[in-house]
Amino acid sequence: MKFNAKTITIILTVLLLTACAQNDTENPSGQLTEFRATVDTFCTSIAEADSKINSVDTTSEDYLTALIDELNSLNTLFSDFAAVDFPEEYDYLEHLADEAADYMSEAVAEYTKAYTDSGLTPDEMQAEYDNASDSYNSAFKRIKVIITFLNGESSEDATVSTDSGTLTDPGNSDQ
């Protein structure tokens, strides 16, 4: 079974790195400067994790173990990011980091089950894989929304339904 989320990960990584590189703010406070450095490190780490995931040699005997190890590393990155205390001006985004970590955790568990549970039928394996892909994409969508708002940007893509409602551009008075 091929890792279908590879293309989406590459696209999101490029978007995240571009967004992270543009997060300059006039006269940021010390906390804001530290937070932006944390976000930049997170974006860089995601790019590195993506590279490792995509470079797993699927012809090797232990490729599933290597892939799952790399997915677990990505999961740790998301969990660590969710633990970051967002500055007050971005506090409204903190729950998205938590949700992204939850979705990534689900994705890794579902990918692991799809790849390792020999008791699954082909249809069950595909369903587990599809669920994992959906969770994976949901995690990255939340990160993309966070980055979009951190950069003071808005777009139709910067709307996400969350556990606590729908988050849209805070500057948009229509919503």
Closest CA to 28 of 90, 83, 98, 82: 90
> Can you tell me the distance from the alpha carbon of 133 to that of 8, in angstroms, rounded to the nearest whole number?
10
| 172 confidence band (pLDDT: 50, 70, 90) | very low
Residue type, 110: E
> Can you tell me the distance from the alpha carbon of 72 to that of 112, in angstroms, rounded to the nearest whole number?
9
Structure letter (DSSP) for residue 169: -
What average pLDDT does the segment 142-166 reach?
Answer: 72
Q: How many residues does the chain have?
A: 175
pLDDT digits (tens, 9 = 90+) for 126-147: 999 999 999 999 999 999 999 9
> Can you tell me the distance from the alpha carbon of 86 to that of 81, in angstroms, rounded to the nearest whole number?
10
Average pLDDT, the chain: 81
Q: Which domains does the chain have, with CATH numbers?
A: 11-19+30-151 (1.20.120)
Structure letter (DSSP) for residue 120: S
